[in-house]
């Protein structure tokens, strides 16, 4: 697996790079935002670890560029208690975040979980297509594609996992804890920002403001569901 590590702190960069290489990952490093974008244009990666505080071009600018051309998993690194940066990053399409200072064990677990979801997302088996029709959405569970009125929607793998889970369990309510455990495959510690941001971003991609809640219903105090068709 090929990882792009974007980090301007030399000590952190070397520590993370050495650790990931010891875990048999191929790691390419960038020390500023411009370098990260240039490298991303020329090479193929399986995941990006992105610090948000970068010289030349900010981490958010790097994230904007990546999301304009790819659905590759992106884990952003934010400073402690920097909720604004977390929300901005998630709204721009980051899949996950980790707060500095972080443990290398936690980082490795998040990398594995995000790569695992992306690997499933990119898998295509056209000989056994499973299609779910929901209102004007056509969800191809086998090929991990979704279209609305014939137009393909560009979802990240995390967004697709959410809509796939809800669509294959129509009428069933999932608590936020259940959704987080199933999608992120890790314990839920009140990580509402991550889940809520993904749900809102997904709703925006599925519909316009007038029909924003047509597909995914919020059950206040409980969680989310898709009504049974």
Quickly state the pLDDT bin for 214 (edges 50, 70, 90). Answer: confident
Same domain, 59 and 45: yes
Q: How many domains is the chain built from?
A: 2
Token readout for 133 is: 């029709």
Tell me: pLDDT of 111 over 90.
yes
C-alpha to C-alpha distance for 101 and 144, rounded to whole angstroms = 35
26's enclosing H/E stretch is: strand 26-30
Same domain, 135 and 83: no
Same domain, 115 and 140: no
pLDDT digits 0-9 by tens, 141-183: 877 889 988 888 888 888 888 999 999 899 999 998 888 888 8
Angstrom distances, CA of residue 104 to CA of 45, 99, 109, 111: 20, 12, 9, 10
What pLDDT shows up at residue 9?
92
pLDDT digits 0-9 by tens, 13-59: 999 999 999 999 999 999 999 999 999 999 999 999 999 999 998 99
CATH code: domain of residue 195: 1.10.10.10
Same domain, 108 and 136: no
Identify which has the larger pLDDT, 108 or 80. Answer: 108
What pLDDT shows up at residue 60?
93
Same domain, 93 and 169: no
CATH code: domain of residue 51: 3.40.50.2300
Q: Examine the fold and report which residue of 122, 142, 171 is the final residue of a domain before the chain moves on.
A: 122
Would you call the peptide bond into 101 cis, given omega within 30 degrees of 0 as the criterion? yes
Same domain, 116 and 156: no
Same domain, 99 and 132: no
Identify which has the larger pLDDT, 193 or 77. Answer: 77
- Average pLDDT of the segment spanning 183-206: 81
pLDDT digits 0-9 by tens, 57-106: 899 999 999 998 888 899 999 886 677 888 888 888 898 889 888 999 99
Q: Examine the fold and report which residue of 105, 122, 139 is the final residue of a domain before the chain moves on.
A: 122
The pTM (predicted TM-score) of the whole model is: 0.69
Same domain, 70 and 179: no
Tell me: pLDDT of 125 over 60.
no
Same domain, 166 and 70: no
Same domain, 84 and 144: no
Q: Examine the fold and report which residue of 67, 97, 122 is the final residue of a domain before the chain moves on.
A: 122
Same domain, 100 and 174: no
**CA geometry: angle 59, 198, 157, nearest 5 deg:** 85
What pLDDT shows up at residue 16?
95
Same domain, 7 and 91: yes
Domain that holds residue 220: 126-225
What pLDDT shows up at residue 196?
85
What pLDDT shows up at residue 140?
87
Is 150 exposed, middle or buried (CB count within 10 Å of its CB: 0-12, 13-18, 19+)? exposed
Quickly state the pLDDT bin for 10 (edges 50, 70, 90). Answer: very high
């Amino acid at each position: 697996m090929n990882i792009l590590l974007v980090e301007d702190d030399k000590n952190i960069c070397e520590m993370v790079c050495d650790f990931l290489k010891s875990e048999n990952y191929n790691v390419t490093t960038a020390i500023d935002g411009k370098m990260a974008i240039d490298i991303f244009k020329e090479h193929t990666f399986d995941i990006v670890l992105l610090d948000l505080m970068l010289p030349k071009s900010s981490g958010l600018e790097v994230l904007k560029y990546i999301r304009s051309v790819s659905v590759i998993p992106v884990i952003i690194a934010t400073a402690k208690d920097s909720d604004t940066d977390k929300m901005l990053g998630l709204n721009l399409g980051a899949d996950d975040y980790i707060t500095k200072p972080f443990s290398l064990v936690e980082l490795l677990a998040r990398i594995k979980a995000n790569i695992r979801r992306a690997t499933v997302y990119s898998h295509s088996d056209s000989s056994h297509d499973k299609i779910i029709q929901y209102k004007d959405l056509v969800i191809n569970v086998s090929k991990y594609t979704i279209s609305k009125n014939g137009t393909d929607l560009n979802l990240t793998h995390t967004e697709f996992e959410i809509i796939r889970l809800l669509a294959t369990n129509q009428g069933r309510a999932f608590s936020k804890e259940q959704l987080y455990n199933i999608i992120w495959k890790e314990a839920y510690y009140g990580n509402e920002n991550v889940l809520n941001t993904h749900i809102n971003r997904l709703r925006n991609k599925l519909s316009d403001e007038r029909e924003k809640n047509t597909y995914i219903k919020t059950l206040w105090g409980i969680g989310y569901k898709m009504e049974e068709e």
